[in-house]
Amino acid sequence: MNYYSLNNKNHKVTFQEAVIKGLAPDRGLYFPETISPLPDSFFQNIEMLSNEEIAFETIKQFVGDEIPETELKKIITETLCFDFPCIPVEDNIFSLELFHGPTMAFKDVGARFMSRCLGYFNRNTDKKVTVLVATSGDTGGAVASGFLGVKGVEVVILYPSGKVSDIQERQLTTLGQNIKALEVDGVFDDCQDMVKKAFLDESLKHKNLTSANSINIARWLPQMFYIFFAYKQLKQYNKPIVLSCPSGNFGNICAGIMAKRLGLPISHFVASTNANDTVPRFLEKGNYEPKPSVTTISNAMDVGNPSNFIRIQELYNNDLNEFEKDFSSYSFSDTETERTIKDIYSRTKYIAEPHGAVGYLGLKKEMQKQRNSIGVFLETAHPIKFLDIVEPLLDLQLPIPKQIENVLGKEKVSVKIKTYGELKDFLH
């Protein structure tokens, strides 16, 4: 399988090169040269397959022969070491819980898959790779956990100071070993811009930089797995499925659309955003106009210029009319989000956190148009990560899961920076 740059289709690389480089030299995101739908029999019998079997069939064409089948299956087994349940919340509405992994966030899947791919590619070399990643919340912890102790890989995580939750910060600043955290005086977009600039800096070529954000194909493509798992669980209802993703960098919803390209029968996608409404404004006005991100209580979605939206445009050949048949996007305020967390709990006793609540709001809005459907929203992180928001709203105390207990007593270690020059000095 080859991948081309979305800025230049003549620039092509292998899966291994795309994973190691992360971003094309022209700053383009990599995109698979071909997408071959899975056979009808796969979907007809999907409930008979294990999650590992589903994931293997989903990803194998995108890896090709660059990782042997036995090794790829091992990577998948190690990646999917936790559950992905669809929990009924109310009539025809389900929560796809993606927080049962080691750092209690959906990004555990992509981070674990990518780290093991890099570990395989580095198995016979002393050459080091530096994973440089920006996080608005959960990416940092998942990448830190996924890459901890991986041979030949150093990890440098940039995060916006004061704009991630306390638990999220502890997950990316307390592990030590090959994990380093840089606390940036700015917002997530500043962190992401620094990362992209570093990739193009000739003086840093010796660092062999790659990214573990969803711009990297090995972080992004595995996010298809749990969309298939949701279908496997909901197929029994024999209704059209509407999928709502709380959306920041748009990796999850882009992976969902990829799954549909492979034949997965998802009827409609909803990108649910907070006040960072670049995509809802695009659908309303037809002009794609990114703006600086603003801080909200759903901080992992505080992205003003979502990287993966260009991949979504490619999947629809930049045809807005075709895109709008499959896709809606709505924006919600912090006030609406808080009200929804309280409302869901008072009616159902289900505890949502801010990102899941935004996903729920978008789903409910779309299902007013898709009345004979079944809806699923992604609950992307455990409520404990946002206990300072959830506990006062619901007037309860959340039990501390064992995954979180492990980091609470550890010392935070980070380096504060303000400028790209300071990042460059750190990397040198």
Tokens of 316: 């629809």
CA 187 to chain centre: 18
- 3-state secondary structure at position 161: coil
Q: Which two tokens stand for residue 117?
A: 């791919």
Bridge-based pairing of strands 374-379 and 415-417 is unpaired
Alpha-carbon distance 305 to 338, whole Å?
25
d(CA 84, CA 99): 8
Furthest C-alpha separation in the chain: 58
Rounded to whole angstroms, the Cα distance separating 247 from 249 reads 6
- The torsion angles phi and psi of 380, rounded to 5 degrees, stand at -90, -15
Spatial distance between the Cα atoms of 338 and 358, rounded to a whole number of angstroms: 9
From residue 212, alpha-carbon distances to 19, 36, 41, 130, 132 in Å are: 9, 25, 34, 10, 7
Please give the Cα distance from 76 to 51 (Å, whole number): 9
Of the listed 21, 60, 73, 107, which one is catalytic? Answer: 107
Three-state secondary structure call for residue 82: coil
CA–CA distance, 37 with 51 (Å, rounded to integer): 19
Is residue 197 part of the annotated active site? The answer reads: no
Active site residues: 107
